[in-house]
Structure 1
Amino acid sequence: MVAGLLPWNWFLLRDQLGVVTDVVAIVLPMLALVTALLVGFVGRRHKAALAFAVSTLVVAIVATVLPWVPDGVGTVDRSRAFRVAAANIGSGELDGADNLLALGADVLVVSEIGPPLTERLSQSYPVHVADWDGPAIGIFSRWPLTVLERPGPDLPGYVLRVQAPSQTFDLIAVHVPRPWWTSGGSSYRTVEDSGVPYQTTVADHHRLIEQIAARVERDDRPVVVAGDFNTTDRGRDYRLLTNDLDDAMLDTWGRPSQIGRWTTLLVRIDHLFVKPGWCADDSRWYTIPVSDHHGLISTVGPCAS
């Protein structure tokens, strides 16, 4: 009985052990499977070992699926609604251009962007800003944008004021460096320049998420936050963000957003959030050619009364 309860301590300790549980959260499905198989095989003649193995698998399933459960973000006032989309375009930059344009989004946030795609999208979105050398992110809008903050050591993206016809709001568009190994991809090299094969440390990733959350907390306007956070929704950084934000994608069931070689980790790291008082409808995920991410799009705006 006690052995079967031990894995459930994950839910008590996951926010208490800092970077240790941050790393475990990323690899949880695979770690749980390997642990269960190993313990189950070695202790196959002992009920306690089998109970621990089965319980470990169940905990991993619950921890993975629970953040995907729809929570009813509320109904948007259709007279003041607009579409926001985000995508990590991946290595085939121009291959996904038609997919992005076909979305018809009012505001589009694109990670891993470079000059060719920026030029292509700017033909349909003349209002845009982009950074190719830091977080590699571009924001494209049908409405005027005012840059409040540019990318810097404490902000892997932009803070923008969007002058939508129905209401002005602030947009925090980010591409947070990933806190694990990499052999290429993003222009981020905060740690890799020193010969260490990852984009940033787990601790610094957490610091950047804290910086984003702090900007949300002190902003007294409606806020939309979107981009590639490289933050799994079963980790403490996601829970830090959702202290003051609602997950717009939970208008429907969540799902892993990273595919390809990372599929087995079952991570949802691309996010779209709104500050309470705003709601989300018609959220969905879409495929991007060549990219190892699914894109996301949602209708957001003030909640219907």
Structure 2
Amino acid sequence: MAGRTLTALKLLFRSALWLLALGVIAVLVLRWFTGSRFAPVRLVDYFTPWLLVPLLPALAAALVAGRRWLSAFLLVPVLYVGIVYAPLFLPAGNRAEAKGPTFKVMSYNVWSHNPHLQEIAAVVAEERPDILLLQELTPERYPVLRGYLEELYPGQALHEVYDPRLLQAVFSRYPLPAYRALPGKGKTLEVVVVTPQGELTLYNSHFLRSGDWTRRHSQIASLLAEGLANAAGPVILAGDFNTSERTETYRLITGSLKNAHWEAGRGFGFTFPAYGSCRVVACQVPPMVRIDHIFYNDLLLVRSAGTVQRSGGADHLPVVAEFSMLKKGQEIR
């Protein structure tokens, strides 16, 4: 009886491993042909790195058991994930070694329900960005946080733009002579920044999770069509996109812009949810997806990029990137 039970359990375990292997491969194939149209594909797109959690021990078990075909089918998605994310674990190359003046950009969704404004200011002060983009900053919290940021640039003016309709703010050590809200393109604030190296156009964006994913996709497509993709000068598009690097919407953006983290960052750099920021009860869920990004065009050179490991009470971790400006036709050496 015990022998039959053990045999049945082994058969059940092997069946589960086959189901895992074939299921993941099926979703990856479906993604190739249908993009983000189906919910299972979108779910895998968001959590692709986490596929390794069940796949690696499953592959090890299949190898130990001598199941060659099962091992081969499990190896396919393992190799896929490994190849896709390998660039994040390789040296950044000459981009990190370039010389010249730089400026630092920080994008930070501070969460509209976050009362810890001093903690937010402390996170910002520790990073000391030259340009700070904030999302979900409510009108009642804006003046309080601004007061905490007064001394962000000692001896220099604090330049700022705030739109209460968008809940978006930009703080900068550089002048911000012009800005405008872009309706129909998510919550996007377009700001002109005059740096010592030249003028920069900055887009502070927040694309909400509400509604179907196609709504977010069309808003981003509209923003790119606005001229952002073919801008004559340096451009940075940053914020909370509620989309990961494997989605169809993300590929739309990277068709014309580069992602700072993928060019000069290290590791997965997950940004959501921040530790202890569950919206229902306090908990310690680790960050599991990267949905906050900093994109830029070819007239900028990224030196370094990363995810800040303090949230200041927000449900997102901030992202940072350091840039230099390039002149048209200038080569990266």
Q: For 1:169 and 1:87, how far apart are their aligned partners in 2?
A: 19
Shift of 1:57: 5.0
Q: 1:266 to 1:288 in 2, by over 3 A?
A: closer
Q: Which amino acid aligns with 2:290?
A: R
TM-score (norm 1): 0.75
Equivalences for 1:14-25 in 2 at 5 Å? 14=32, 16-20=34-38, 21-25=41-45
Shift of 1:289: 2.4
TM-score (norm 2): 0.69
Q: 1:206 to 1:34 in 2, by over 3 A?
A: farther
SS in 2 for 1:294: coil
Cα RMSD of the aligned pairs, angstroms, is 3.8
Kept in 2, the 8 Å contact 1:127–1:141? The answer is: yes
Shift of 1:222: 1.0
Which stretch shifts more, 144-153 or 81-90? 144-153
Q: 1:76 to 1:48 in 2, by over 3 A?
A: closer
Q: 1:218 to 1:277 in 2, by over 3 A?
A: closer
The answer to whether residue 108 in structure 2 is matched with residue 87 in structure 1 is yes
The answer to whether residue 124 in structure 2 is matched with residue 100 in structure 1 is yes
Q: For 2:86 and 2:147, how far apart are their aligned partners in 1?
A: 40
Q: For 1:148 and 1:27, how far apart are their aligned partners in 2?
A: 36
Q: Who is 1:251 aligned against?
A: 264
Equivalences for 1:117-132 in 2 at 5 Å? 117-122=145-150, 124=152, 126-132=158-164
SS in 2 for 1:117: helix
Equivalences for 1:110-259 in 2 at 5 Å? 110-114=134-138, 115=142, 116-122=144-150, 124=152, 126-134=158-166, 136-178=167-209, 199-214=210-225, 215-249=227-261, 250-254=263-267, 255-258=269-272, 259=274
Q: For 2:33 and 2:285, how far apart are their aligned partners in 1?
A: 25
Q: Which amino acid aligns with 2:270?
A: P
Q: Deviations over 1:170-227 (max 9, x none)?
A: 111112212xxxxxxxxxxxxxxxxxxxx23211111122223334213111111211
Q: For 1:8 and 1:229, how far apart are their aligned partners in 2?
A: 27
Q: 1:247 to 1:69 in 2, by over 3 A?
A: farther
Q: For 2:293 and 2:125, how far apart are their aligned partners in 1?
A: 20
Kept in 2, the 8 Å contact 1:75–1:279? The answer is: no
Kept in 1, the 8 Å contact 2:193–2:200? The answer is: yes
The answer to whether residue 301 in structure 2 is matched with residue 279 in structure 1 is yes
Shift of 1:72: 4.6
Gaps (5+ residues) in structure 2? 1-17, 279-283, 327-331
Shift of 1:101: 2.0
The answer to whether residue 291 in structure 2 is matched with residue 299 in structure 1 is no
- Computing the radius of gyration from Cα coordinates, the structure with the larger value is 2
Q: For 1:219 and 1:25, how far apart are their aligned partners in 2?
A: 30
Q: Which amino acid aligns with 1:172?
A: Y
Q: Which amino acid aligns with 1:256?
A: F
Count of residue correspondences: 280
Q: 1:72 to 1:130 in 2, by over 3 A?
A: farther
SS in 2 for 1:297: strand
